[in-house]
Amino acid sequence: MKIGLDVFGGDYAPDATVLGAIEAQKSLDKDQQIVLFGDEADIKKRIEETGGDSSLFDYVHAPEVISMHEHPTKAISQKPNSSISKGFEFLKEGKIDSFASAGNTGAMLVGSMFSVKTIPGVIRPAIATNVPKLKSGFGILLDVGANADCKPEMLNQFAILGSLYSEYVYGVPNPKVGLLNIGEEEEKGNNLTISTYPLLKSNPKINFIGNAEGRDLFTDHADVYVCDGYTGNVVLKLAESFYVVTLKKGIKDDFFDRFNYEQYGGSPVLGVNAPVIIGHGISTPEAIKNMVLLSKDMIVSKFIDKIRSAFN
């Protein structure tokens, strides 16, 4: 198993990514190999400087870097030797089994869709994120930004993608799916959610439990929350800001701690032909480590095969 990691993606890269990779490697089995993408000599030097063993990793030399604010499509085509471009090249060719980066989100999406490509039958991939539950564990929220405008059939597919992710990567049996909406009743909502409800209700591949309101998101109401990418992104960033407030105020609490993105490592792009994970821009070594471990879990669970079967 080859787990691809972009060493030059993220606000704290390459320091944080190198440290995260070293930590992740300690948790992996012998046949689980991390492949580092970036300036090879530079990475090796950094690993040795921090007391790590550079021989424990594989390398793909990629001297160019796509910065956080570059135009995704242009950057990917103009910088074929960037760590992100090389990562997707190797992922497409099957030379690595997953690719993760805390770098340019747009470039990661473009690479996912135009390089490894969408799984046949999937209209559009979605980005999923974890939302902590008050009691314990996580729910899944998607889409959180890949598709600002959605059609009902897309949300219906997100429900399947999210359910499979919840079930096979996080081990939640028969995950409950809720439609993020503005009322409990079936007839409530905007045009999108009103049209989506009957699709979800009649979808035999999911365990649909009806509408979920904003207040339900952190409860046991559902395991998978489905919405358009505009709404999901607003909700995600709002929730993150609450967590930041609790941090600033020095509030220590198990529930708020579970908002910490470092714990779950990153947001997967669901619906493409390989595991792709987008890390938070401010990923720390802990976040990078968990992003690598999540990559491993997605490979081990044969999650991509489950999606292919569901959309076959």
Residues that bind a second copy (CB under 8 A): 134, 145, 148-149, 180-182, 189-191, 193, 213-219, 227-231, 233-242, 244-245, 249, 251, 253, 255
CA dist 271 and 125 (Å) reads 5
Q: Strand 138-142: give its sheet, edge to edge.
A: 58-61, 33-38, 2-6, 98-101, 276-278, 267-270, 126-132, 138-142, 224-226, 176-180, 207-212
- Provide, rounded to whole angstroms, the least separation between the CB of residue 282 and a second copy: 12
Please give the full DSSP string across 67-104, using - where no structure is assigned. Answer: -TTS-HHHHHHH-TTBHHHHHHHHHHTTSSSEEEESS-
Nearer CB in complex with a second copy: 7/109: 109
Q: Are 98 and 275 in contact (CB under 8 A)?
A: yes
- Provide, rounded to whole angstroms, the least separation between the CB of residue 216 and a second copy: 8
- Provide, rounded to whole angstroms, the least separation between the CB of residue 178 and a second copy: 12
- Provide, rounded to whole angstroms, the least separation between the CB of residue 234 and a second copy: 4
Structure tokens at 257: 């701690």
Q: Which of 217, 203, 219 is nearest to 310 (CA)?
A: 203
**Residue 25 host element (H or E):** helix 15-26
- Provide, rounded to whole angstroms, the least separation between the CB of residue 253 and a second copy: 6
Nearer CB in complex with a second copy: 29/253: 253
Nearer CB in complex with a second copy: 186/216: 216
Nearer CB in complex with a second copy: 41/134: 134
Three-state secondary structure call for residue 172: coil
Nearer CB in complex with a second copy: 83/283: 283
CA dist 17 and 21 (Å) reads 6
